[in-house]
Structure 1
Amino acid sequence: MVLSATRISKTSDMLGESPVWDADSQKLFWVDSFQKLIRSYEPSTGAFRDLPMPSMVGSVGLATGGKLVAGLADGIYLVDIESGAVEPIFKLDPPDPRVRFNDGKVDRQGRFVCGTMGVHAEALGELYRINSRGDAQLLANGIRIANSLCFSPGGDTMYFADSLDRRVRAYHYSEGDDPLDDPRIHVDTKPFDSGPDGATIDSEGFIWVALVQVGKIARFDHDGLIERTIEAPTDMPSCVAFGGPDMSTLFVTTIKDSGSGRAISRHPAGGHLFAIEGLGVKGIPEPRFSYQPGN
């Protein structure tokens, strides 16, 4: 098995995060949180496009009707892919400048799950699940930095981490509106000298986690045992997602300068988007959020 890592982006992100592959359009979307951008890349044409947002962007997911769903600083929004227009779905009430939305993913049932984080890493963050009507259900609180959100292929397990705890938790996950049960610790990343950042699931149900503080990406099996680690293309990988025509490419976002003083890359390519080939593993297409208010 020969791995190759290719730098994809022409310009670097300050805080690259939340890559998601659209299997229908064959495009990759991701965000530069600090520069308030949703970015896209179309491999077949080499085209890049930036959509400026009104605030910091924590995460982005696919939605129906030519739209994306995004966690902006103060809430969850629909984003029109063509125009970049934003429509609020759910906003914190009252607003709290001490927190902002961070990592988020669409679950296998088509709901958007997104967590907030303390701007200064205080334990003020909460985890929300937004359904198709725009109703928000609080799933967890006391979070410092919400990260590593992803779902098992069957959708019955949710993985989630507070990065500063250095543990990826696994929750039994319901198709309905049931609250979360107590989690089990799926992966303890303390032995790897890093907190977990973004994560994704492959077609075998193994979880891939960006170990942002040590420049590595790790794959863990169903029991949370390490299956392999690979060197990331830069010293600060932030998030990973499978994509490409056959879902075998691992796209990796990276950090140049998070703006918080907590993460500053020393690598000359810090902040760029990369594609890793040759892993011998495939991902699965991501579901879409369907917003149908009033239903």
Structure 2
Amino acid sequence: MGDLRFERLNTGSDALGESPVWNALSQSLWWIDGVAGKVRELRADGTVQTLQVTGHVGAIALVEGNGIVATIDQRVFWLDPETKAERLLVEITDAPETMRLNDGKLDRQGRFVCIGMGRGGELVGDIHGFGKGRHRVLAETGVMIGNGICFSPDGGTLYFTDTRARTSFAADYDTETGDVGAIRPHIDCTALGSGIDGATVDADGNMWAVLIHTGEIGCFAPDGRVLHRTKAPVDYPSSLAFGGAGMDVLYMTSIRDSGTGRVVSKSPDGGGLFSIRDHGARGIEEACFQGMMD
């Protein structure tokens, strides 16, 4: 693997860029500006559309047929990009008020799997599963800042991180039921000097992850070994997703100002959206939300 080639895309600047996801059908990239309540799309023709919502957006995913499913605080909405309509699908009613949904992805079967975080440092980052009008807690993790939700190529392993504790975890995942098995440590990031924020998995099963505190992109083998680390062109990269016609382009979001006062970029390109090439990897097309939890 040679040096990665970063290119800033012409999408403006996000306060808290996160949750990139590639739509292979439209050849477009979706992502969010979490604190600004924006759900954004970079279309194939280079234009950008923005959907404005009320609340803190944590994660998004594609909906089969049309639309986007988005977590907003403790709720999940369906968004229609054409009409700008919003429809509440489910709301968590039994979680602490200090919890908000922070990161999430679809499993390989189209279930929306999300992890929470404590707004004030509370250990409330459980893993939640969502379908149309349904919600259940998949695992009580006790993490503070849940991040990095992603799945192995066969869908049988779930990965997630506690960014504050600088630890990545893995668990067996039942693709038939969506049940989460025993949780085990995956990567101890202490020696790397950073916790993991957003992450994705390539077709070979390697995890590509943002090391937010050191401003790096890391590639990790399925057993947790560090395969590659590269400095990003900004001090606070935030998340990654594969895309492009051949699923061979990495897209990276970044942070300008997280809104908490703890993460404020000093980079002139902070908050930018980037493409990354020359990494030698290919991703896996994400599933579409099926609206059903088993």
Q: TM-score w.r.t. structure 2 length?
A: 0.95
How far 1:11 sits from its partner (Å)? Answer: 1.4
- What is aligned with 2:239? 239
Q: Matched residues in 1 for 2:217 and 2:11: separation?
A: 23
- What is aligned with 1:222? 222
- The alignment status of 1:174 with 2:174, answered yes or no, reads yes
Q: Matched residues in 1 for 2:223 and 2:292: separation?
A: 37
Q: Matched residues in 2 for 1:54 and 1:84: separation?
A: 13
- What is aligned with 1:139? 139
Q: Percent identity?
A: 38
- What is aligned with 2:38? 37
- What is aligned with 2:7? 6
How far 1:78 sits from its partner (Å)? Answer: 1.3
User: Match for 2:233: what amino acid?
Assistant: P
User: Match for 2:249: what amino acid?
Assistant: T
Q: Is the 8 A contact 2:138 2:180 kept in 1?
A: no
- The alignment status of 1:70 with 2:44, answered yes or no, reads no
- 3-state DSSP of counterpart to 2:242: strand
- What is aligned with 1:24? 25
How far 1:96 sits from its partner (Å)? Answer: 4.5
How far 1:124 sits from its partner (Å)? Answer: 2.3
- 3-state DSSP of counterpart to 1:191: helix
How far 1:264 sits from its partner (Å)? Answer: 1.0
How far 1:99 sits from its partner (Å)? Answer: 1.8
User: Match for 1:15: what amino acid?
Assistant: L
Q: Is the 8 A contact 2:128 2:135 kept in 1?
A: no
Q: Matched residues in 2 for 1:109 and 1:88: separation?
A: 22
Q: Is the 8 A contact 2:90 2:133 kept in 1?
A: no
Write the mapping of 1:267-278 to structure 2, written as runs, cut at 5 A. 267-278=267-278
User: Match for 1:123: what amino acid?
Assistant: L
- What is aligned with 1:111? 111
Q: Matched residues in 2 for 1:133 and 1:34: separation?
A: 25
User: Match for 2:10: what amino acid?
Assistant: S
Q: Is the 8 A contact 1:90 1:136 kept in 2?
A: no
Q: Matched residues in 1 for 2:112 and 2:29: separation?
A: 18
How far 1:122 sits from its partner (Å)? Answer: 1.5
Q: Is the 8 A contact 2:257 2:264 kept in 1?
A: yes
Q: Is the 8 A contact 2:55 2:73 kept in 1?
A: yes
Deviations 1:85-107 (A, max 9, x none): 22112212157541211100000
Which stretch has the larger CA shift, 245-254 or 84-93?
84-93
User: Match for 2:79: what amino acid?
Assistant: V
Q: Matched residues in 1 for 2:258 and 2:211: separation?
A: 15
Which stretch has the larger CA shift, 204-213 or 92-101?
92-101
> 1:94–1:173: structure 2 CA closer, same or farther, 3 Å change rule?
closer
Deviations 1:228-282 (A, max 9, x none): 0111121111000010111111100000110012211111110110011111111
Write the mapping of 1:116-131 to structure 2, written as runs, cut at 5 A. 116-131=116-131
Q: TM-score w.r.t. structure 1 length?
A: 0.94
Q: Matched residues in 1 for 2:178 and 2:200: separation?
A: 23
Deviations 1:39-70 (A, max 9, x none): 1102x311101100121100101111211111
Q: Is the 8 A contact 1:156 1:172 kept in 2?
A: yes
Structure 2 unaligned blocks of 5 or more: none
- 3-state DSSP of counterpart to 1:115: strand
Q: Matched residues in 2 for 1:194 and 1:292: separation?
A: 36
RMSD over equivalenced CA pairs, Å: 1.7
Q: Is the 8 A contact 2:113 2:130 kept in 1?
A: yes
Which stretch has the larger CA shift, 23-32 or 169-178?
169-178
Q: Is the 8 A contact 2:198 2:239 kept in 1?
A: yes
Deviations 1:187-230 (A, max 9, x none): 11111100110000001010011000101010001211011011
- What is aligned with 1:286? 286
Q: Matched residues in 2 for 1:256 and 1:91: separation?
A: 29
- 3-state DSSP of counterpart to 1:181: strand
> 1:85–1:153: structure 2 CA closer, same or farther, 3 Å change rule?
same
- 3-state DSSP of counterpart to 2:134: coil
